[in-house]
Structure 1
Amino acid sequence: MNAWEIHHRRTAALGDVITVVDAGADLPWSDDLAEVFGDRAGLLVELHGLFARRVTGRIELALDLHDLPGASVAEAWQAVVAELPGVHRTLQAYADEPALARPVANLHRTVAVAVGLAALDAPLAIAADAGRAFVANAAHIDIPARRDGWLRERLSYRLMKATA
């Protein structure tokens, strides 16, 4: 099997897992999943990677378009949790999995840096703790309402600045 086929197989298997957990079921496991991900830890790391990429992408966009880092990052986090509720629930349920410790700490550091709670060169443990505390409170952060057309206006403004 070539790399392209492996990628497609992993992507399809991950999509199937997401469908199952988003429907409210527990993390599935089978011989087919073992063949693709190796073990449950490998599957959990892959799920976390998907969640982290979505959060990071949303944070980058939100920070580029809004002037309120705390509200923007909270809004980005909440949006991904709403998009991937089963993945988020599963990652919460397996939070003590040793294979997730480093990736989760890195994502929390990313959040802390984006919000301004930690510097890029801060020790991982300190930055991760700040990000973890922010995420724990993200659901309670007031996100300002956006008026219709704000996204188009901001994107047009950014494009004009970039081409000027």
Structure 2
Amino acid sequence: MNAWEIHHRRTAALRDVVTELDAGADLPWSDALAALFGDRAGLLVALHDSFARRVTGRIELALELHDLPGASVAEAWQAVVTELPGIHRILRAYADEPALARPDANLHRTVAVAAGLASLGAPVGIAADAGRAFVANAAHIDVPARRDGWLRERLSFRLMKASA
């Protein structure tokens, strides 16, 4: 099996796992998953990667379109939690899994930097702690309501600015 086939099989398997998780199942495990991810830790890391990519993408878009970094990052985080509830639930349930320590610290560091709570030069542990504290309170951060047409206005402004 070549790398492309492995990638497609892993992607399809992750889709199936996410469907099960969204239906309320615990982390599934089978011989087929073992062949693709090695062990449960490998599957958890793959799920974390999916969650982190979505969060990072949402944060980048939110920061590009909005002027309030803290509120934008909180809004992005909450949107991903809503979109990927099964993954979020499992990542919280398996938060003490050693294989998730580094990717989790990196994700929370990204959150802290994006929210303006840490600099890129800050030690990862300190920045990650700031990101964790931010995420713990993200649901309570006031995100100003957007008026109709705000997205179109921001995109038009960005496109005009980029073409100038």
Same fold (TM over 0.5): yes
Distance in 2 of aligned mates of 1:49 and 1:148 = 33
Taking the TM superposition and a 5 Å limit, the aligned residue runs for 1:1-150 are 1-150=1-150
Segments of 4+ moved more than 6 angstroms: none
Q: Give the superposition deviation at 1:3.
A: 1.2
State the identity %.
Answer: 85
Distance in 2 of aligned mates of 1:26 and 1:145 = 36
- TM-score where L is the length of structure 2: 0.99
Distance in 2 of aligned mates of 1:24 and 1:139 = 22
User: Which amino acid is 1:154 matched to?
Assistant: R
Q: Give the superposition deviation at 1:149.
A: 1.1
Distance in 2 of aligned mates of 1:157 and 1:24 = 42
User: Which amino acid is 2:111 matched to?
Assistant: V
Distance in 1 of aligned mates of 2:139 and 2:67 = 19
Distance in 1 of aligned mates of 2:51 and 2:118 = 21
User: Which amino acid is 1:150 matched to?
Assistant: W
Distance in 1 of aligned mates of 2:79 and 2:63 = 14
Distance in 2 of aligned mates of 1:162 and 1:46 = 35
Distance in 1 of aligned mates of 2:129 and 2:2 = 40
Q: Secondary structure at the match of 1:16?
A: helix
Distance in 1 of aligned mates of 2:22 and 2:143 = 25
Distance in 2 of aligned mates of 1:147 and 1:116 = 25
User: Which amino acid is 2:51 matched to?
Assistant: F
Segments of structure 2 that go 5 or more residues without pairing to the other structure are none
Aligned residues: 164
Distance in 2 of aligned mates of 1:127 and 1:24 = 32
